[in-house]
Structure 1
Amino acid sequence: MRIYGPNGTTLGTPSSGTKKTGSGTFSLPDAAPAADARPTAAPRAANSIDALIAMQSVEDPTERRKKSVQRGRGALDVLDELKIGLLSGAITPATVARLRTAAADLKATSGDPGLDAVLSEIELRVEVELAKAART
Structure 2
Amino acid sequence: MRIYGPSATTFGTPASNARKTSSTGFSLPETTETTETRAASAPKTVGGIDALLALQGVEDPTERRRRSVKRGRVALDVLDDLKMSLLSGALDASTVNRLRTAAADLKDGSGDPGLDAVLAEIELRVEVELAKAGQTT
Q: Tell me whether the two structures share a fold, i.e. TM-score over 0.5.
A: yes
TM-score under structure 2 length normalisation: 0.65
In the aligned structure 2, how far is the partner of 1:52 from the partner of 1:90? 50
In the TM superposition, structure 1's runs of 4+ consecutive aligned residues that sit over 4 Å from their partners are 30-33, 37-40, 45-48
Q: What is the percent sequence identity of the aligned residues?
A: 66
Deviations 1:100-122 (CA, angstroms, capped at 9, x unpaired): 00000000000000000000000
1:58 positional shift: 1.2
Say which SS state the counterpart of residue 134 (structure 1) adopts. coil
Q: Are the structure 2 counterparts of residues 70 and 38 from structure 1 closer, same or farther at C-alpha, using a change threshold of 3 Å?
A: same
Q: What residue in structure 1 maps to residue 116 of structure 2?
A: 116
Is 1:53 the counterpart of 2:53? The answer is yes
Q: Which secondary structure state, in structure 1, belongs to the residue aligned with residue 109 of structure 2?
A: coil
Aligned residue number for residue 129 of structure 1:
129
Instruction: Tell me which amino acid in the other structure corresponds to 1:122.
Output: I
Within-5 A mapping of 1:91-106: 91-106=91-106
Cα distance per residue 1:10-67 (max 9 Å; x no partner): xxxxxxxxxxxxxxxxxxxx6986xxx986531248755x653332121110000000
Distance 1:31 1:114 in 2: 72
Equivalents in 1 of 2:46, 2:116: separation in Å?
40
The aligned runs of 1:83-94 (5 Å cut-off) are 83-94=83-94
- Could you tell me which runs of 5 or more consecutive residues in structure 2 were left unpaired when the two chains were aligned: 1-32
Structure 1 unaligned spans of 5+: 1-29
* Structure with max Cα Rg: 2
User: What corresponds to 2:68 in structure 1?
Assistant: 68
Number of paired residues?
108
Aligned partner of 2:8 in structure 1 is none
Q: Using the alignment, how far apart are the partners of 2:53 and 2:41 within structure 1? A: 28
User: Which whole-Å CA distance do the structure 2 matches of 1:47 and 1:32 have between them?
Assistant: 34
- Tell me the equivalent position of 1:82: 82
**RMSD of Structure 2 on Structure 1 (CA):** 3.1
- Equivalent residue for 1:15? none
